[in-house]
Structure 1
């Protein structure tokens, strides 16, 4: 394994310990774990979400890990001029959660906008960070660089603080992330530490959450760029089998007929092999060896077949849920109520330690 920088190495070591607790037998240590995870509802979820997060969330849930799953509707407007088809997008995201196997009686599914007490935590948390710290955050820097001169919104600048409120309102102590998201989590750890020291006389009001680092390689889009709903280079989970075949056929490959796994020299082929192998439960190298000289057309056929076979049950359940939108709305209302109870309790504690109860 490639050596990691100091902070990443420490986070990876803590993640490995948490992974052992999760994969081990039931224990008090496992019972103390509480996970926060979620998505921005900017469109339909796609296979990248399924591979990198949805499957893992169901696994954690089924192991008895208490989970809060956020549909981050306020985050939609961090870098956009409007909310778009926000209600349809929220329902689509929740529908995919349920189709993937998330149980709303065991996982609390909720939205930002419904939990005012969560968002109110932004005020004391903002007092704990500096402008320079926020501007150093990789997401803020990347978004600012991509705006082509467009002014940085206050919401985007404070996005790391809002994310800290998401995590800390429910006292989550585990957050599933990739290595690229560690700076966000480190900012949350700093905010928790500073709050405890500055406002709670050193008592632990908030835990410093740890990362549960995903080991799945980054899945690129069908055009070879980062998989993104806004680029239209994804395979949505709601796509039909025929639509999936058509989308995969349009994916980029190269002119070499022999299929080999080489991320550096053949990134598009490597990406298709990664996707196919992930759905087949094998390695990209093994899949490449099986295809051999059959060429790009056979690679695409194998990938499309693997995706369709693996998602057949998900899509069947999704169609059933789409036929009952009232149930999806009910799930969200119930999750919002449970999350609100937790947020009210947390905000009351914050006001108490800050001497703001009147």
Structure 2
């Protein structure tokens, strides 16, 4: 089903859909995450879709030798989710490592795919190419099957993804189909809701990334935001235009201001005109700080009660475990491995 048809179905009957998505706890979320995926998750929840957010803490180990400051990063993710409007009374946020049944699902799932299928997954290839490990671990190759377990344990039937994540989801659909063909129908084949999210570059003109230090985090102060934007890469042409193909760095900044102001980027560029990079960066700084002000205020309030963050995660872990245990029981029954 196309994303347009899926969107229509979601609008007509949101209760029919269950979404699984999430993040690896490797640092605080930034504007690239927000306009890329986070904003859409809250939109879906507000429409009435049941949303599951997984904090993929085990997956941190796929491309890192050590999971540094993991507890802090997990709490910061919960804090970011709540600050942008995620409602834990209507959805579930949980940590992968707190749900043992996920890893029990992984084993039969791995039996349904070949090493060649895992190895040629383009996302895995990219992760390997940028791996920080001295050698590629076996865990890296199981990454797509891990993701399949994450999605299928709660029988999610809708997964918001970018174009680069489609191979992962296609393997999840393959695993679900092969399991159902071999043992009887247990799992849905989840649909991809392709994101039309714009690509925001980091302040250095490359992909916005937590690890590259080129991102504006949701928790950055107004002064930090101003400093980061001031240092953002532009080009030598004074007149500001919106042309992503020929002026990617300038256009990314224009787009950021437009997204924060819910405006057309061409209109924003036209207003700045011959004002040059200084005027562009001033516009971006003001737009970002105005947009993030309420999110930062909520985040500051929530951060004062770390006990509440842990409670939200604990309750989410409990809900996820109950669902995963039920699914695992169905899997064992289908596989005739109830002893």
User: Could you say which TM-score interval applies, normalised by the shorter chain?
Assistant: over 0.9
Structure 2: runs of 5+ lacking an equivalent? none
Structure 1: runs of 5+ lacking an equivalent? 1-12
User: Of the candidates 31, 35, 49, which is equivalent to residue 47 of structure 1?
Assistant: 31
- The aligned counterpart of 1:139 is 123
Distance in 1 between residues matched to 2:144 and 2:329, nearest whole Å: 23
Distance in 2 between residues matched to 1:147 and 1:68, nearest whole Å: 28
More off after superposition, 332-341 vs 282-291 = 282-291
| Cα displacement (A) at 1:274 | 1.4
Q: Does 1:326 align with 2:321?
A: no
- The aligned counterpart of 1:232 is 213
- The aligned counterpart of 1:124 is 108
| Cα displacement (A) at 1:145 | 2.6
| Cα displacement (A) at 1:147 | 4.2
Matches within 5 A, 1:64-103: 64-103=48-87
TM, length-normalised to structure 1: 0.93
- The aligned counterpart of 1:305 is 286
Distance in 2 between residues matched to 1:247 and 1:214, nearest whole Å: 27
The 1:148/1:317 distance shift into structure 2, 3 A limit, reads: closer
- The aligned counterpart of 1:159 is 143
Instruction: Say if 2:65 and 2:133, in contact at 8 Å, map to a contact too.
Output: no
Matches within 5 A, 1:1-358: 13-24=1-12, 27=13, 30-147=14-131, 150-200=134-184, 204-358=185-339
Instruction: Say if 2:65 and 2:132, in contact at 8 Å, map to a contact too.
Output: no
| Cα displacement (A) at 1:151 | 2.3
| Cα displacement (A) at 1:16 | 1.3
Size of the aligned set, in residue pairs, is 339
| Cα displacement (A) at 1:148 | 8.7
The 1:69/1:240 distance shift into structure 2, 3 A limit, reads: same
1:48 aligned counterpart, secondary structure: helix
TM, length-normalised to structure 2: 0.98
Distance in 1 between residues matched to 2:292 and 2:104, nearest whole Å: 39
| Cα displacement (A) at 1:100 | 0.5
More off after superposition, 15-24 vs 125-134 = 15-24
Please list the CA deviations of residues 152-182 of structure 1 after superposition, one character each: whole Å capped at 9, or x if unmatched: 2111111000000000000000000011111
Distance in 2 between residues matched to 1:149 and 1:37, nearest whole Å: 26
